[in-house]
Amino acid sequence: MPKPVVAVPADLKTIDGVAWHAAQNQYVKAALTVAEVMSFIVPAFEHGNDADAILDHVDGLLVSGSASNVHPSLYGRQAVEKDGPFDPGRDATSLPLIRRAIERGIPLLAICRGLQELNVALGGSLQGEIQENEGTWDHRSPETPDRDEAFAIRQSVIVREGSCIANYLGLSGEIRVNSLHRQAIAETAPGLQVEATAPDGTIEAVSVIGARTFACGVQWHPEYWAETDHPSRQLFAAFGDAVRAYAASKAG
């Protein structure tokens, strides 16, 4: 069977004054080396993308992290300056892909911003600057130019017993993860169940209730240490297995 392909929504970024549709290497590399799937980077157009036309040609959907934030208007709030930076093209591409992948039973792994997009796509809401809330940790990365340091594994997360994530990891209870976010789920979407939380109560993982296949979002970054960190590797390997199963089912 040919190597399966997953869609990866790009970010729309300006690099040296030029607009690029780009995905970070760490996500597509983990997809290739650990999930053993290829990535099809989807341009982040605000108008004109056809989610079904894209999903007809792939076997999974991998929604990556990004320093940009989902626009608050998508979950019923007025945007204020500190809610940015925004990427409306990414929002307009990811949310329809997420909804249709779930409806069509196509495997979905959503990471960090991707978990936030999953929650908004299904009708939930987000909160910003969570570190300013009383009793909430600072989940942002340390100020450092060193990416390994920024993505260092440094935070506890409690995986709920009997959850999908626990099944994929082969364990429940405390795991250690990295953390690079200042937003988090406020209201969990109706179709999602909480799979893991940080000791400060921050939601760290969700899954789609009744999903026909792998359909999870995590607030941490399993892609970054996917080759060396056990829970990270387990998650990407399980996603890859679900993608291969879906591809095989399409082949009939």
Ligand X SMILES: N[C@@H](CCC(=O)NCCCC(=O)O)C(=O)O
CA 6 to chain centre: 13
Q: According to the binding rule CB under 6 A, does residue 113 interact with ligand X?
A: yes
Shortest distance in whole angstroms from residue 89 CB to ligand X: 15
E-strand ranges in 135-218 read: 155-159, 173-177, 184-185, 192-197, 203-208, 215-218
139 among known catalytic residues: no
Q: CB-side exposure of 166: number of CA atoms within 13 Å?
A: 15
CA dihedral 65, 69, 73, 75 (to 10 degrees): 50
Q: According to the binding rule CB under 6 A, does residue 232 interact with ligand X?
A: no
225 near 29, Cβ under 8 Å? Answer: no
Contact pick of 19, 67, 209, 248 for ligand X (by CB under 6 A): 67
57 among known catalytic residues: no
Contact pick of 4, 65, 231, 240 for ligand X (by CB under 6 A): 65
Contact pick of 31, 58, 62, 112 for ligand X (by CB under 6 A): 112
94 near 114, Cβ under 8 Å? Answer: yes
216 among known catalytic residues: no
Distance of alpha carbon 159 from alpha carbon 177, whole angstroms: 11
- Provide the mask over 180-219, with x wherever binding to ligand X is found by CB under 6 A and - wherever it is not: xxxx------------------------------------
Which range binds ligand X by CB under 6 A, 28-36, 48-56, 66-74, 162-170?
A: 66-74
Residue of minimal CB distance from ligand X?
65
Annotated active-site residue in 81, 149, 223, 230: 223
Cα angle 212-217-222, degrees, rounded to a multiple of 5: 120
Binders of ligand X among residues 138 to 167 (CB under 6 A) are none
Catalytic residues: 112, 221, 223
Interaction site with ligand X (CB under 6 A) = 24, 65-69, 112-113, 180-183
